[in-house]
Structure 1
Amino acid sequence: MNKRSRADWQGYIPAITTPFDANRNLDLPALGMLLEWLHSEGMHGLLLAGTTGEWPSMSTDECKTLFSAAGAQLGGKLPLLAGCNAYTASRVLELADHAAASGFDGIVVTPPPYYRPSADEIHGFYADISAETKLPICVYNWPPGTGIDMPLALLKRLAALDNVVAIKQSTSDLRRFVDTFFALRDRIRIFGHSMDEHGLALLEARGGDGTMGAGAVLGRTHPDFYNKLWAGDIAGARECGRMDRVILDEWYTPELVGRFGSGPAILKAGLNAQGLPGGYVRPPLRDVSAADAERIRETLVALGRI
């Protein structure tokens, strides 16, 4: 069953940071400024309360507050996806119901972390959510965060669930991404194209839906990779991809683990260095050191962002 038309998601959709103030409280004014900037920079959609959004350290009520604020500001202006991750389907559905009421367009869900559930248990988890949610689901395969790299056989089973319309395939194994892409791209949307020569070659040859990246610290450069590709400006897309690759190589390991601390801390330092509302991370995460903040700033200077 082809469910691609049930979601108009495409291009660059960043998982955004969640601003916390110096007391580590949710900073709604800063969130409003961040959302305004991201929208003005031409993002093709936004994902809130994902891994980059520090969902594990937020309460259910805080996630709901985040969804309400974002929906009120940007609902209907671009696709909004809610990170609705939890250990149980019931909590996922509680968050999904609020996201739907707030004007969101879909939810992104990982397998339950920590437990390391079996394939049948993961399928049952998503089946319970699919049967009850009002919103389309993007399955998120995130091995660094869940400890599970879902095999293609399981992803095929999940793609058959009625409300699953997309997969965010964030494995660091290029072959596993390619296998997922070719097996399921005619049935659901597949996100995870790398914005480098490998990704560009695949997108040019066979098309593709896009990338759910992290933070969007380079602003318009990220969505312009796809804008230029769609316009036939391959050289321009390649340059945007090169800039994205610089921050990936300098700030992260090949396994997508931060070199200077957590991903949210690095991205918030990058936003703060540009005078944008990054803010602070919330414990147990720690903000990057002053020396590492300077290294992050130097990367942005070299890329012409500062």
Structure 2
Amino acid sequence: MSASKRSRVDWKGYLPAIITPFGQDLEIDENGFGQMLEWLHGEGMHGLIVQGTTGEWTAMSREERARLFRLAGAQMGGKLPLIAGCSSFTADESIALAKVAKEAGFEGILLTVPPYVRPGPAEILNFYETVSREVDMPICIYNWPPGTGIDMSLDLLTRLAEIENVVAIKQSTPNFERFCDTFFALKDEVRVFGFPMNEAGLTMLRTHGGDGTMGAGGVLGRAQTGFYDNLWKGDIEAARACGAKDRVLMAEWYTPDLVGKFGSGPAILKAAFEARGIPGGRVRSPLLDVAPADREMIAATLKKLGMI
């Protein structure tokens, strides 16, 4: 395995997995999507992930997902790194989506284990090897136990990191020790994302380096990108203050297992964007929109943080 694989991409900092705004008719709100992209770019995001978990890919057709890739590529291509969420139930579907993303100007893809079927280690390895053979793009492995039911072992992640096009791992395990093990074992070969924006994450980044956080939504704007921008400038107190705002959001809106307290993650973030005056829209079935009383609690968090 070449230790230079991580150098094939310049992904670093805070890269949100963005929402997909749906209108009252539950169709894609293309205008709202464009407004949100401009706002996120203006807030200094270090990259964007389109159709990750937060993008509700499970409720969308291949044609709709492809349309979002083309819209985002046309508007943001060349302005910041674009990563396409190509998770699906089959390798063929992921490959088809990845090819569209490449044509649309995306730099790479983000890919979970196929959900629901709970494949074993050999099957997971075969899945990623198949996609890598057919897609000439950098791949970020996405370990997402709440969504897949599988928390991939370090041994398996090490084997996956040897696949030719794998250049990064989004390690979203709720187990911080497992994140640390992944980082220290593989950081010189692939990029590892998932640093919490707390004192532990800040200490690791300052002491050992690190790549960043692929977070959800980016609703706090520069309070989230600022964690890394200030860290890179050497202003640790400013970075710490930004991280503290993100931790408030995580504590008040999510459980320790990264599950939303007021509904699904996409529904919470859409309510938060709406509270900030940015198009968030509705969620699609089977998800439900956040109830009015819970919207008030979400808005209260944002007011406390000085966001509205």
* TM band (smaller chain): over 0.9
Q: CA deviation at 1:132?
A: 1.0
The one-letter code matched in structure 1 to 2:283 is V
TM-score of the superposed pair, with normalisation by structure 2 = 0.99
Q: Does 1:124 align with 2:147?
A: no
Instruction: Pick one of 209, 212, 234 that aligns with 1:210.
Output: 212
CA distance in 2, matches of 1:213, 1:142: 12
Q: In the TM superposition, what whole-angstrom CA distance separates every residue of 1:58-105 from its partner, at most 9, and x where no partner exists?
A: 100000000000000000110000000111111000000000000000
Q: CA deviation at 1:134?
A: 1.7
Instruction: Pick one of 285, 303, 306 that aligns with 2:305.
Output: 303
Q: In the TM superposition, what whole-angstrom CA distance separates every residue of 1:182-207 from its partner, at most 9, and x where no partner exists?
A: 00000000000000011001001101
Q: Which runs of 5+ in 1 are unaligned?
A: none
Instruction: Pick one of 61, 68, 84 that aligns with 2:70.
Output: 68
Q: In the TM superposition, what whole-angstrom CA distance separates every residue of 1:144-171 from its partner, at most 9, and x where no partner exists?
A: 0000000000000000000000000000
Number of the residue aligned with 1:177: 179
Number of the residue aligned with 2:244: 242
Number of the residue aligned with 1:192: 194
CA distance in 2, matches of 1:9, 1:247: 24
The one-letter code matched in structure 1 to 2:286 is P
Number of the residue aligned with 1:147: 149
Q: CA deviation at 1:23?
A: 0.9
CA distance in 2, matches of 1:298, 1:210: 28
Number of the residue aligned with 2:87: 85
SS of 1:52's equivalent in the other structure is helix
| RMSD of aligned Cα (Å) | 0.4
TM-score of the superposed pair, with normalisation by structure 1 = 1.00
Q: Which runs of 5+ in 2 are unaligned?
A: none
Number of the residue aligned with 2:8: 6
CA distance in 2, matches of 1:43, 1:134: 25
The one-letter code matched in structure 2 to 1:124 is N
CA distance in 2, matches of 1:132, 1:5: 21
Provide the identity percentage.
Answer: 60
CA distance in 2, matches of 1:177, 1:56: 26
The one-letter code matched in structure 1 to 2:96 is E
CA distance in 2, matches of 1:239, 1:16: 23
Q: CA deviation at 1:237?
A: 0.3
Instruction: Pick one of 102, 105, 113 that aligns with 2:104.
Output: 102
The one-letter code matched in structure 2 to 1:116 is R
Between the two proteins, the alignment pairs up a number of residues equal to: 306
